[in-house]
Amino acid sequence: MHDITAIAAANPGATRSPNFMKHQRWFPTIYDLRRGAARRLPHFAYEYGDGGAGDDTGIKHNWAALDAVELIPRYGVMPKLPPVGVELFGRRYSAPLGVAPMGSPIVVWPGADKLLARAAQRAKVPYTLGVAGGATIEEVAKIAPDVMWLQLYRFANNNHAIGFDLVRRADEAGVHVLMLTLDVPVRTVRSREVKVGLGGGGVFKPDWRMVAGMFKCPGWGVAMLSNNLPRFANIQPYAGPNAGLNDTICFARTEMGGAFSWDEVARYRDKWKRPMVVKGILHPADAEKAVAIGVDGILVSNHGGRQIEALPAPIDCVPAIVKAVGSRATVLMDSGVRSGTDVARALALGASAALAGKAFLWGLGALGADGPGHVIDLLIDELQSALGQIGALAPAEARNVVVRHPGALHF
């Protein structure tokens, strides 16, 4: 375990969470948080956050592909922990990692969106609010003014009236990066959600098992009482002034769906004057199309294995996409990131940063409000260790490390 003073000195842009040392005793890794979340959360909440498509084969494949990437160290070059601050899209962040967009993290832990935003702002790492989250653009912009990004799904009805209004709101709120999602062209079934009563019928109808699970988990129940019922905060205003949760769910299923076409990406590019990222790219030819339109960043992603199990692991696609776009766009990666070593792997293969999703849900489940901050601290600690171990003096130098990457795809 590293000395906290040394870590802070090496990375002055970040501020550690006050309870880091206490929590590290019991949760020294992200996997420990996963086990803690399984014990502490209602079963339906854990299954929603932990599961993926089918039998979770895609999730396991993402993990296995990351684990297969080996970094060949060079020694005799560094006597101390390296700094890990980076510049992304013209802004300085404390580390090349961030919070990936997630749909309805409030199911896992009530108030999750605001807790994630607060931790990211404290640590000065990017936080991407999912448009289907439980807090509004305006609320999160006040909590995380320096680090807020926004992920947007496709709202094609009425000539994209809702989508363009969300862009307007994001602009007025000062969102720094707009992220368009391309990797959900159709709806798919997530079996673990269906089995616990979520995701099957399109509306939220708690059954006796859910209610019993809530009573068995007092921490989750207290958080629910403090934050009210889950809601699609950004979509609800468009569903009508008196729309309840199920009304908003039905409205969203009608209005929201499909992947942005390239013509639509171009239209949003014209509307949005700040940096824009497209999410879900796995083929270098698609990355080249995005760059030709004027997109600033590519998020290599398979939606965390939550859409279909047959997709390649994003880490295996990163080198080809980096080669295709060169210096014309910033390449990011998500799906399967569980450690700072995973972040180092992504950097070594050419990505500028990696985003984590499930790790933050596990942190919320295990530690509640303290969870997101603890996850960020663990990731930064492990990333500094990994870079120091392989002889990289800064995140950008990880690209100079020799890598054995058996799963790399060659298009």
Identify whether 152 is part of a domain: yes
The model's pTM is: 0.92
Identify whether 410 is part of a domain: no
Catalytic residues: 303
User: For residues 232 and 243, is the Cβ–Cβ distance under 8 A?
Assistant: no
Give the model's pLDDT for residue 203: 58
The CATH code of the domain that includes 264 is 3.20.20.70
Identify whether 267 is part of a domain: yes
Identify whether 403 is part of a domain: no
Identify whether 407 is part of a domain: no
Give the model's pLDDT for residue 4: 42
Q: Which residues does the chain have with pLDDT short of 50?
A: 1-9, 12-13
Structural domain that includes position 124 = 4-398
Identify whether 203 is part of a domain: yes
pLDDT digits (tens, 9 = 90+) for 386-403: 999 999 999 999 999 999
Identify whether 408 is part of a domain: no
Give the model's pLDDT for residue 202: 54
Phi, psi (5° rounding) for residue 28? -80, -10
- How many structural domains compose the chain? 1
Give the model's pLDDT for residue 308: 87
Identify whether 178 is part of a domain: yes
Give the model's pLDDT for residue 163: 96
Give the model's pLDDT for residue 176: 98
